[in-house]
Structure 1
Amino acid sequence: MTVQQQREQKHQKTLKLVETAMLAAIVVLMSFTPIGYLKVGALSITFIMIPVVIGGITVGPAAGAVLGAIWGATSFWQCFGMDAFGTTLMSLNPVGTFITCVIARILAGWLAGLIYMAISKIGPKARIAGCPIASLSVALINTTLFMGLLVAFFWNTDYIGGFKELLGKTNVFGFILAFVGVNGAIEAGVTCVVGGAIAIALVNTLFKKRIGE
């Protein structure tokens, strides 16, 4: 490896660290301000997934996982009295709440990078199309993971039982669709459009050299 190549490699590593740090700061900022959550009923429509997805796409799966972990940690922190829904889950099953909040978000960020990498290998045009596709896919995966873990850990609790009665749904699939409803659709749509557009801009400008353009 030549000196020039070593410098370029070091530059790329620094660039990745800087972007990850900037996105991490955005995740934290969004987590504790109204920017990140839109309260609708018991659940919240969250837009924090956007910087997580962007990191997974433009930096890689590891960065996506780190950003997902930060998002999950801030979400879990809010279960200590800052969010009524999360606080109730915490009182019922702390371990289950941690897994639901943190592990699901780590996997979402990690999968954002993996899905984009798989799509981008198809060709140059696929690298662009892969941004909104990966964004939408991860939004749907995140909702599926969150609801799956919620059902796994809290399905038989009186708290979730109250929601089942309210929604008139006693089977798992019907409950998930009714519970998420419009919230999940809005999250997926916003993440796909906004996250995909920003990721495309980054891929086309700041990271052209890294992807070999």
Structure 2
Amino acid sequence: MNQSNSSVRRMAALALLIAIIVVMSYTPLGYLQIGPIQMSLLTIPVAIGAVVMGPTDGAILGGVFGLTSLFSAISGRSAMGTMMFSINPFACFVVCFVARVLMGWCTGLIFKALQKAMPKKEKLSCALGGLLAAVLNTVFFMGSLVLFFYQTEYIQNLVSALHVSNPFAFVVVVVGLQGVLEAILCCVVTCAVSVPLRKIWNK
């Protein structure tokens, strides 16, 4: 495939995945409200893009995911996001946007490393890429949330309500079973979609 056709194909694939992320962000499929925090399945199209198209496009898709999260915070759709934005808009930008860009980029880089380490295990690499996308999303989002907002009155009230005594316990309790299920779902769907897509993409 020549460079022109390759660029057109890349732009078309990016546009499709961006559209999926935007549509998911406005439906129950995108954000699941679990108590005070929104658990997201938008990691799935980001992971698929990062695995099939590479770290740069993973970062772009992560950025789109981050923008939808930031919009939820600004518009009041997310109680925790609105709290973060009202206290520190810059820190809210880091938590909502930068964390998701890093997630998409790192997922693509890790998948490339897995490919080199296990060249004959495409399915396993795709599955691990999906799993790690969800894990990285949780680590970057919750890590930056704790870094910037753990000492705020809102989070401390949650800490008291959840009966936890330190940031690590807070993250574990907030993420909980839902985070595990999100990671498993992202792993399964990313593998199921990415394996056939990569065969087409690499022709």
Normalization by structure 1: what TM-score? 0.90
CA RMSD in angstroms, aligned pairs only: 1.3
Aligned equivalent of 1:63, options 51, 57, 61:
57
* Structure 1 position 115 matched with structure 2 position 110: yes
User: Normalising by the residue count of structure 2, what TM-score does the alignment of the two structures yield?
Assistant: 0.95
Q: What residue number does 2:11 align with?
A: 17
What residue ranges of structure 1 are gaps of 5+ in the alignment?
1-6
On the 8 A contact 1:164/1:175 being kept in 2, the answer is yes
In 2, Cα distance between equivalents of 1:9 and 1:126? 28
The offset of 1:78, in angstroms, is 0.8
- Pick the aligned partner of 2:22 from 28, 42, 46: 28
Aligned pair partner of 2:96 in 98, 101, 122: 101
How far apart, CA to CA, are the structure 2 residues paired with 1:177 and 1:88? Answer: 21
CA offsets, 1:132-153, max 9 Å, x none?
A: 1111112111101111100111
> Which segment is superposed worse, 36-45 or 93-102?
36-45
**Cα drift, residue 58 of structure 1:** 0.6
SS in structure 2 of the partner of residue 14 of structure 1: helix
Distance in 2 separating the partners of 1:121 and 1:15: 25
Match of 2:66 in 1: 72
Aligned partner (choices 162, 171, 174) of residue 166 of structure 2: 171
1:157 aligned partner, one-letter code: T
CA drift of 1:123 comes to 4.8
Conserved? CA contact 1:44–1:183, under 8 Å: no
Matched residue, 2:132: 137
Superposed displacement of residue 114, structure 1: 0.6
Q: Find the counterpart in structure 2 of residue 90 from structure 1.
A: 85
Question: Contact 2:37–2:79 (CA<8 Å) still a contact in 1?
Answer: no
2:17–2:49 contact (8 Å) kept in structure 1: yes
3-state SS of paired residue (2:147): helix
Structure with higher Rg: it is 1
Displacement of 1:124 after TM fit? Answer: 4.0
* 1:88-130 deviation digits (Å, cap 9, x = unpaired): 1111111111100000000011011111111112354233321
Q: 1:8 offset after TM fit, Å?
A: 2.0
> Is 2:188 aligned against 1:193?
yes
Gaps of 5+ in 2: none
Of all paired residues, the percent bearing the same amino acid is 39
- List structure 1 runs of 4+ shifted beyond 4 angstroms: none
